[in-house]
C-alpha cells in the first residue's frame, strides 16, 4: 500500500511539503481565488488572511495553526477531510523552521497519446490506470499550435478522500467532447507529479464512444 513515509531531514519542498499540499490541499486551494497552495510563490504569497507561512517561524505561521486545529475544529485543515498525521505536520513545521525554501525539483513524468482523432458531437473516453499515489494533470491540446483545449487535475491517493479521483491501481476516465474550434486530431498528455516510484506505463488509451 502506498503511504507517506516519515520525513527525512532536511525537508525538501517538492519531495515532502508540496507533495502533502498536492494530496491534501490542492483540491480546494487552487487557482479559484484565496489561498493557492499549488505553487511555491503562490503558497508564500498567502491568502485572504495575508501571509500564512512565515519563513523560519512555524510557530507563528497561520498555516500551521490551521493544520493543527488551533483555529477551532471547524477550521482544521484539510476542511472536511482526515487531519494530517503527526509526521506530515512535523515535516511542514520543520520545513518552515528551516527557512521555507524552494529546494529540490518537481519530478514530473509525461505520458502521451498523439494523433488522436476526435469527432464533433461524439464522446471520446480517455482512460488510464495509475498504480501509485500521484497527482495527475491531463490535457488535450491542438498539436499544431500547442493550445490547451481541455484540462483537468486529479489526485490518486490511498485511502481515497472526497476530493480524490481514485485509489492507486483503479482505472479512471474522462469523457471529452470536441468544442468549437477544436481540430480533428488532438494530443493527450498526462503528467504525473509527486509519485515516489513513477510507473513506466499508465495504460493511457482513448476510445470513441457511440454517443
Residue with cell 481514485: 166
Smallest distance from the beta carbon of 162 to ligand HEC, in angstroms? 7
Of 150, 142, 125, residue with least CA distance to 185: 142
* Cα angle for residues 29, 31, 37 (degrees, 5° grid): 40
Please state, in angstroms and rounded to a whole number, the distance separating the CA atoms of residues 194 and 181: 34
Give the interface segment with ligand HEC, choosing from 26-34, 102-110, 122-130, 138-146 (CB under 6 A). Answer: 26-34
State which of positions 121-180 bind ligand HEC (CB under 6 A). Answer: 163
Determine contact, residues 43/21, Cβ cutoff 8 Å: yes
Smallest distance from the beta carbon of 66 to ligand HEC, in angstroms? 4
Is residue 29 a contact point for ligand HEC (CB under 6 A)? yes
In this chain, which of 11, 67, 154, 165 binds ligand HEC, going by CB under 6 A? 67
What's the residue count for the chain? 211
Q: Which is nearer to ligand HEC, 134 or 149 (CB)?
A: 134
Is residue 81 a contact point for ligand HEC (CB under 6 A)? yes
Determine contact, residues 157/87, Cβ cutoff 8 Å: no
Smallest distance from the beta carbon of 82 to ligand HEC, in angstroms? 10
Determine contact, residues 142/176, Cβ cutoff 8 Å: no
Determine contact, residues 100/41, Cβ cutoff 8 Å: no
Is residue 48 a contact point for ligand HEC (CB under 6 A)? yes
Is residue 52 a contact point for ligand HEC (CB under 6 A)? yes
Smallest distance from the beta carbon of 191 to ligand HEC, in angstroms? 21
- CA distances to 15, 42, 105 from 101, rounded to whole Å, are 12, 13, 12
Q: Which is nearer to ligand HEC, 80 or 179 (CB)?
A: 80
Q: Which is nearer to ligand HEC, 163 or 205 (CB)?
A: 163
Q: Assess whether the previous peptide bond of 10 is cis (omega < 30° from 0).
A: yes
Is residue 15 a contact point for ligand HEC (CB under 6 A)? no
The residues of the shown chain that bind ligand HEC, judged by CB under 6 A, are: 24-25, 27-29, 34-35, 46-49, 52, 62-63, 66-67, 75, 77-81, 84, 163
Amino acid at each position: 500500500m502506498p503511504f507517506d513515509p516519515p520525513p527525512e531531514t532536511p525537508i525538501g519542498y517538492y519531495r515532502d511539503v508540496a507533495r502533502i499540499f498536492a494530496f491534501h490541499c490542492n483540491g480546494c486551494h487552487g487557482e479559484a481565488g484565496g489561498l493557492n497552495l499549488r505553487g511555491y510563490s503562490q503558497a508564500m504569497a498567502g491568502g485572504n488572511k495575508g501571509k500564512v507561512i512565515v519563513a523560519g517561524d512555524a510557530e507563528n505561521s497561520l498555516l500551521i495553526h490551521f493544520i493543527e486545529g488551533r483555529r477551532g475544529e471547524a477550521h482544521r485543515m484539510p476542511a472536511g477531510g482526515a487531519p494530517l498525521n503527526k509526521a506530515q505536520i512535523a515535516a511542514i513545521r520543520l520545513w518552515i523552521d528551516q527557512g521555507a525554501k524552494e529546494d529540490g525539483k518537481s519530478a514530473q513524468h509525461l505520458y502521451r497519446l498523439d494523433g488522436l482523432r476526435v469527432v464533433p458531437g461524439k464522446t471520446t473516453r480517455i482512460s488510464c490506470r495509475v498504480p501509485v499515489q500521484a497527482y495527475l494533470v491531463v490535457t488535450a491540446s491542438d498539436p499544431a499550435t500547442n493550445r490547451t483545449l481541455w484540462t483537468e487535475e486529479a489526485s490518486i491517493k490511498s485511502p481515497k478522500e472526497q476530493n480524490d479521483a481514485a485509489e492507486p491501481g483503479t482505472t479512471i476516465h474522462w469523457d471529452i467532447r470536441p468544442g468549437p474550434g477544436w481540430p480533428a486530431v488532438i494530443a493527450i498528455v498526462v503528467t504525473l507529479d509527486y509519485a515516489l516510484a513513477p510507473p513506466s506505463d499508465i495504460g493511457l488509451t482513448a476510445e470513441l464512444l457511440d454517443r
